[in-house]
Structure 1
Amino acid sequence: MLTGMIDVACRISPATKRFLLKIWFQALAQLDKEAQMLFMNYGYIDLRPDAGAIALQDEDEKDRYCIQLYHAVAGAITLKNLDVLEIGCGRGGGASYMMRYLQPKSVVGIDRCVTAVQFCREQYSVEGLSFSLGNAQSLPFRENTFDAVVNIESSHCYESMEDFLREVFRVLRPHGSFLFTDFRNKNHVEMLRKQLQDAGFVALEETCITPNVVRALDLDNQRKMNLIQQKIPKKLQKIFQLFAGVQGSKTYEAFRTGAVEYRSFVLCKGTIS
């Protein structure tokens, strides 16, 4: 999610983070009447020399960099015919992408922000895609409900990472997949690994994608600046630039200098037989 303010995000309380996100969503609901802002992440670029561009429909091209983060994380395994849960779905662009492109049986997007869920329910009409209101640390689903859980750039706002991971483990079916990415202060990355391990997850893959995110921020910078200038009152533009991670912001610099790392994980529930 475009939570920005990374220089303080790793230090301020989760309650403050949630308050900032609430203000962010409410502002978008009022200012983005044309629904141009469907994604709430910093984006991703595949930096491999032989990497080809993923094929997108014309309507999705404007969100290419944000979509590529979903493609890299959720597309790390085959989701075809699986029941998928996205925790922290924001404005629903990622859930819609997964349902339309990755061929799961179903995608449920859940978010604790009422305005975000209302927006998603009004914005999307895709068979197999639904949205629910709920707390990441107390999921409104029975155990063993989903084959895969996706969580992208959201967990740093949770009051308890341990409670969140316990809930993910509970709702996943045996040997289900947890497809997870988020940023942490560089000094807290080892703690994140331990939290994942202690929750019972087996890490099949871990990747530092900070350079990929920075490159996406560079290439998407002008689009974000244009949207902010067009939609946001002048007195609020600086804070929105911080939230969006535009070049020169403290958010951007935290990634560029490596003070904050962005990590991506492919995890499995329990031991693989």
Structure 2
Amino acid sequence: MNYGYVPTAEEAALSPVCGNIVNQQLSANMYHYLASKIVLTDKFVLEIGSGRGGGARYIAEHFKPLNYIGLDIAGSAVELANRLHPLPNVKFIQGSGEHISLYDGTVDVVVNVESSHGYGDVALFIREVYRVLKPGGYLLLVDFRNSVDNMELFKQQLLASGLHCICLENISAQVVEAIETEDPVKRKQIEAWIPRRFQKIFSEFAGVVGSKFYNTLKSGERPYYRFVLTKPVV
């Protein structure tokens, strides 16, 4: 789902995770502590970059939005997500975050988890988010950039969009802790499921301890941030 998140003691006390997640607890944490920033009950939520849909299911089951649409560019991921998560208020559709097939001002909340760094035109994505959000709607976003300068550029793009920033947090340390916590299990899974000749490449992709992703995240070269922004009410 994502690289995972270990909450601070204060966060855990204020908003404990809903139930026990058998698999990918720390990845579910990422969604939980992002969704906890605002009230989602009875809202129309759009997740851009919904992948296999596990995060969408968690939010839909525990935060009770009215409707939840998961948008992903990969048709295979959309097909799998609809098969794995047949919930009455959740639907997965294929599409691009740079060309969202929804009307202006129709979405209460946009969720974007570890996805925006891969977009070809991030500024266009942000404009599309602004377009589909209702006045007073929210963008909840967590993601990393491969350098401090690129994260500063991303912050500037968000703030220049017209969205107002409510929350801007560097959560790199919490993501590093999640990677370290999950490392033994993740390595066993890679050894069990991935052919030996591909294990080194996959370990880098998975961000295990010692990988380039992990090392640059821990050193601060690759910052990871959490954002909550809102579209002004005119």
Tell me the TM-score normalised to structure 2 length.
0.95
Residue of 70, 83, 101 corresponding to 1:109: 70
| Matching residue of 1:155 | 116
Extract unaligned runs of 5+ from structure 2.
none
8 Å contact 2:170–2:223 — kept in the other structure?
A: yes
| Matching residue of 2:56 | 95
Cα distance between partner residues in 2 of 1:172 and 1:50: 27
Cα distance between partner residues in 2 of 1:216 and 1:246: 10
SS of 1:79's equivalent in the other structure is coil
Number of residue equivalences: 232
| Matching residue of 1:32 | none
Identity across matched positions, percent: 35
Residue of 139, 144, 148 corresponding to 1:186: 148
- Residues 106 and 183 of structure 1: CA distance in aligned 2, closer, same or farther (over 3 Å): same
Tell me the TM-score normalised to structure 1 length.
0.82
Cα distance between partner residues in 1 of 2:114 and 2:140: 11
- Residues 123 and 50 of structure 1: CA distance in aligned 2, closer, same or farther (over 3 Å): closer
Give the CA deviation at 1:101: 0.6
Residue of 186, 190, 205 corresponding to 1:243: 205
| Matching residue of 2:181 | 219
RMSD, aligned CA:
1.5
Give the CA deviation at 1:181: 1.1
Cα distance between partner residues in 1 of 2:80 and 2:69: 15
Residue of 186, 192, 196 corresponding to 2:158: 196
Structure scoring higher RCO (CA < 8 A, sep ≥ 6) equals: 1
SS of 1:51's equivalent in the other structure is helix
* 1:1-273 pair list within 5 angstroms: 39=1, 41-48=2-9, 51-52=12-13, 54-58=16-20, 60-184=21-145, 185-270=147-232
